[in-house]
Every structure is written in structure tokens, then in C-alpha cells.
């Protein structure tokens, strides 16, 4: 599998790195990604993938879970430990929820199960790149904090405080979910709205991604996840943050 060589137009394009050990998958991704006008980079094992994340500085990473030398979850964990903020979409042939939970917990932005629709994958790539551009254009004044009930979000530090205790192990996506809900205290927000406004998808996608993310947030901010007092479920409707 040969990557695109660097040329006069390469640096002007958004770069997508695909890390997968299946040649057919890489060929499929290369065709569809280049057709959308992106530059395509590939790696066929975890160690090579991590090296290319660091050296090539892609704008987005498609990362398979099952990889030679270093598995995808370890690669994603290392990316976040190095404080590299590139969006990561995990790809896996496994359908068990535990894989999705682990992927989101260690900092993946999204998760797709093989076989996947290339149309849906491209839509998710565009959504994550669009969200990244929006984040880059956002600036906050110093001391910009949002307090709702027992929860305080420091929008400068991307840090939250719960009942006076700092919680600094939230992923970026978890923080974004809390920020969106905190801006609407007491207002129930549907899963579909969260998918559209936080994940920036123009379609429902896998709304179970929202449920997994909510579950991970509760494990970090609630005293008792079986009886949450901050992040509440309105059965059959969505989620809200208690405003008092």
C-alpha cells in the first residue's frame, strides 16, 4: 500500500491517516477519502500509525482496534497522553459495547463497527473536521466559567469542578456534552440533538454513542451512578443537568 507522495497540493489538503492491517480496507478508504478531496496517509500496524500521527500531523485518524505490534486502543491512549488533540475515529469488527466504552474512555471521538457504510464514514469524517475547525475559532475570556448546581465548568482550562472537587480526567467529548447540557440547565435534551450539536452529525448515526458517553461522565461526576443527582435521564426523551 503506497501513500500519496508530498506534492505542491498535498499540504493544502486536510490529511486523513488510516491505520489498518487489512489491505482491502485501506484501498477502500483511500479511494473514498481522496474522492472527497482529502490527502490520504496509511499505516498497517500500531507502531507505524503512532509514528505517523507524530510526524505527519494528520487532521484526523481512522484507527482500527485490532492491529499488529500495538493495538488501536493503546495507540489512542498514547495519542492522548502526548496531548495530541487530533480527532480519532475507532474502527473495529467487534460489536461488543465494552469495546466502544473503552474507546470513548481513552479519548476516541467516535466509534464505527465494521462493516461500515463508506457514505456514513465520510459524513463522520466531515463532521469531526468541521467541529475541529469550530473549536479552533473559539476563544474564551479569562475566568470564563459556567456554574450549574453542583457543577462548575472552567471553559479556559477545559476542567470541571464537582462539589468543590476538580475532575480532570474527562475526555474532550465528555466535556463538550457537559458544556452543552450546562448551557440549558433543567432542559431535557434528546439524544438526537446531542448527536447533531455535539458530534455535529446531520443524521442520527449511532445514538448509543451518546448513552455510552453519558455513562462514562456519570462514573466521574456522580457519587452513585445508580441514583444520579447531577446528570439526569428523562426516560424515553433524553438527558438534562439539574439546575439547582
What is the separation, in whole angstroms, between the first and last Cα of the chain?
A: 57
Query: Per-residue pLDDT averaged across 167-176, rounded?
Result: 83
| Rounded distance between C-alpha atoms, residue 100 and residue 216, angstroms | 11
Cβ within 8 Å of residue 100, ≥6 positions away: 111, 208, 209, 212
pLDDT at 44 > cutoff 80: yes
Lowest mean pLDDT among 5-14, 18-27, 42-51, 168-177: 5-14
Cα–Cα distances in angstroms (integers) from residue 203 to residues 45, 124, 133, 206, in the given order = 32, 10, 20, 9
Q: Which three cell numbers stand for residue 135?
A: 473549536
For residue 161, the SS3 value is strand
Query: Sheet of 238-241: strands edge to edge?
Result: 189-190, 238-241, 231-234
Going by the DSSP 8-state scheme, the letter that residue 5 receives in this structure is P
**Tens digits of per-residue pLDDT, 84-105?**
888 899 998 766 666 667 777 7
Q: How confident is the model at residue 138 (pLDDT cuts 50, 70, 90)?
A: very low
Higher-confidence residue of 111 and 240: namely 240
Where is mean pLDDT largest: 22-31, 120-129, 168-177?
A: 22-31
Amino acid at each position: 500500500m503506497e501513500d500519496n507522495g508530498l506534492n505542491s497540493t498535498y499540504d493544502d489538503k486536510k490529511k486523513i491517516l488510516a491505520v489498518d492491517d487489512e489491505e482491502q480496507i485501506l484501498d477502500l478508504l483511500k479511494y473514498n477519502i481522496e474522492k472527497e478531496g482529502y490527502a490520504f496517509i496509511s499505516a498497517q500496524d500500531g507502531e507505524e500509525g503512532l509514528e505517523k500521527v507524530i510526524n505527519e500531523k494528520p487532521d484526523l485518524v481512522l484507527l482500527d482496534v485490532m492491529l499488529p505490534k500495538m493495538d488501536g486502543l493503546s495507540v489512542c491512549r498514547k495519542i492522548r497522553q502526548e496531548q495530541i488533540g487530533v480527532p480519532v475515529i475507532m474502527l473495529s469488527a467487534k460489536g461488543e459495547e465494552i469495546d466502544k466504552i473503552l474507546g470513548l474512555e481513552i479519548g476516541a471521538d467516535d466509534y464505527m463497527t465494521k462493516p461500515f457504510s463508506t457514505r456514513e464514514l465520510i459524513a463522520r469524517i466531515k463532521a469531526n473536521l468541521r467541529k475541529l475547525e469550530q473549536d479552533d475559532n473559539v476563544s474564551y475570556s479569562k475566568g470564563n466559567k459556567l456554574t450549574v448546581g453542583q457543577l462548575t465548568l472552567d471553559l479556559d482550562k477545559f476542567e470541571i469542578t464537582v462539589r468543590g472537587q476538580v475532575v480532570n480526567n474527562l475526555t474532550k467529548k465528555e466535556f463538550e456534552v457537559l458544556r452543552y447540557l450546562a448551557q440549558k440547565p433543567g432542559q431535557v435534551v434528546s439524544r438526537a440533538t446531542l448527536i447533531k450539536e455535539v458530534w455535529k452529525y446531520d443524521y442520527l448515526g449511532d445514538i448509543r454513542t451518546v448513552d455510552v458517553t453519558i455513562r462514562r461522565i456519570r462514573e466521574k461526576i456522580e457519587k452513585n451512578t445508580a441514583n444520579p443527582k447531577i446528570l439526569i435521564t428523562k426516560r424515553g426523551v433524553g438527558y438534562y443537568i439539574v439546575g439547582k
